[in-house]
């Protein structure tokens, strides 16, 4: 009889343990978009400086900020 009580206790603890554990709330991830008409032909110092400024303020790309750059391939009309 004591083995049945032990089995029930173990089974219940296995099923109820995930309910007791709480995940840490995820922080907000900000998204910055840049839309240009033509892609840069050389590395842009201004974009690098922009990203460095974000890092200086505690933003880490892929963790709490996402940046996306898109280009219209020279088509300015919508």
- For 26, counting Cβ atoms within 10 Å of its Cβ (0-12 exposed, 13-18 middle, 19+ buried), the class is exposed
Going from N- to C-terminal start, the domains of the chain cover 23-78
Q: Which helix (H) or strand (E) holds 74?
A: none
pTM above 0.85, yes or no: no
Task: Look at residue 21 and give its three-state secondary structure.
Answer: coil
Q: What is the pLDDT along the chain (78 residues), one digit of tens a residue?
A: 566 666 667 676 666 656 555 555 668 889 999 888 888 777 788 888 989 999 999 999 988 999 998 888 777 775
Measuring CA to CA, which residue among 41, 29, 42 is closest to residue 68?
A: 29
């Amino acid at each position: 009889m004591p083995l049945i009580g032990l089995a029930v206790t173990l089974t219940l603890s296995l099923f109820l343990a995930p309910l007791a554990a709480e995940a840490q709330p995820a922080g907000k991830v900000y998204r910055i978009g840049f839309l240009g008409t033509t892609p840069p032909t050389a590395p842009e110092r201004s974009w690098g400086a922009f990203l460095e400024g974000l890092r200086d303020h505690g933003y880490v790309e892929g963790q709490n900020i996402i940046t996306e750059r898109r280009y219209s391939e020279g088509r300015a009309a919508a």
